[in-house]
């Protein structure tokens, strides 16, 4: 089973580059199942129902999110209507939406889990204890288990990778928008990368107009963010996972479009 993971999709530039190029990437890598983090898909903050539905129409199978999941007020009203969009599972109960989903594709059952880290982010329930609970709930015949750990601190992400090693097929980090160089397979079983990166403007600062960010650093005063334009990048990860749930091959890539 070939799994494609797309780093955080940022604004209209990120959406458009996926719309125009996802099919060719899926064909290039012979992809069976695609996951994208969409929490920044709508103007960089949150995701609207339309943008989420468009991403599914373009070929994404599951959309994960993170700390910006509720930034669009409409999300609480629509998220329960769909089984293909997730919010971090460690939000305190009761909470709209789902923290994990089991999907079937090409004869294989795939569990996709979404949790949020705690370091430098909102204080949610413990993601380590939550992953234990979820793994007990997932039926034993679901061998392919994938976790999007949306977190800031590299140490917390690496710790989660080792915590899930040999229990989860793939652990990938999101949130920082910068792809890391530590793509590897832990304990000859679990695929891991600290951060997949970002799908969006190349020449901004993690997707935002660089002049706005530089002005903020120099003036120490807040300013309204706007999405950068110009060249666009797709940051991605491809994992080949066998029927037992073992990650056999893993590699990351960056594609740049002028």
Q: Are 247 and 240 in contact (CB under 8 A)?
A: yes
Q: Is 177 annotated as a binding residue?
A: yes
190-193 and 184-186: which strand pairing? antiparallel
Q: Which of 41, 42, 47, 68 is catalytic?
A: 68
d(C-alpha 67, C-alpha 191), whole Å? 24
d(C-alpha 65, C-alpha 166), whole Å? 24
Q: Are 22 and 58 in contact (CB under 8 A)?
A: yes
Q: Is 39 annotated as a binding residue?
A: yes
Q: Is 67 annotated as a binding residue?
A: yes
70 in helix, strand or coil?
coil
Q: Is 148 annotated as a binding residue?
A: no
Q: Is 30 annotated as a binding residue?
A: no
Any idea which residue has 């994960």 for tokens?
A: 64
68 assigned to active site: yes
Q: Is 150 annotated as a binding residue?
A: yes
Identify the DSSP state of 83: S
Q: Is 76 annotated as a binding residue?
A: no
What residues are designated binding site for Fe cation? 8, 39-40, 67, 150, 175, 177
What is the set of active-site residues?
68
What residues are designated binding site? 8, 39-40, 67, 150, 175, 177
């Amino acid at each position: 089973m070939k799994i494609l993971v797309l780093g955080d999709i940022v604004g209209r530039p990120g959406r458009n580059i996926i719309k125009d190029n996802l099919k060719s990437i899926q064909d290039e890598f012979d992809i069976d199942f695609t996951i994208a983090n969409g929490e920044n898909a709508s103007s960089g903050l949150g995701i609207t129902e339309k943008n989420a539905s468009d991403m599914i129409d373009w070929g994404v199978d599951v959309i994960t999110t993170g700390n910006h999941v509720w930034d669009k007020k409409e999300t609480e009203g629509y998220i329960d209507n769909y089984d293909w969009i997730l919010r971090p599972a460690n939000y305190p109960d009761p909470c709209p939406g789902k923290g994990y989903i089991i999907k079937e594709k090409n004869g294989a059952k795939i569990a996709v889990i979404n949790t949020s880290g705690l370091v430098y982010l909102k204080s949610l329930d413990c993601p380590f204890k939550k992953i234990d609970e979820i793994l007990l709930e997932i039926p034993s015949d679901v061998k392919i288990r994938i976790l999007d750990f949306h977190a800031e601190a590299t140490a917390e992400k690496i710790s989660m990778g080792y915590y899930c090693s040999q229990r989860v097929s793939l652990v990938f980090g999101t949130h920082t928008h910068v792809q890391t160089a530590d793509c590897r397979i832990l304990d000859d079983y679990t695929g891991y990368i600290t951060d997949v990166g970002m799908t969006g403007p190349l020449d901004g600062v993690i997707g935002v107009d660089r002049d706005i960010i530089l002005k903020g650093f120099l003036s120490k005063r807040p300013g309204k963010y706007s999405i950068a334009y110009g060249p666009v990048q797709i940051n991605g990860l491809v994992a080949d996972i066998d029927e037992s749930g073992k990650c056999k091959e893993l590699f990351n890539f960056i594609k740049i479009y002028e």
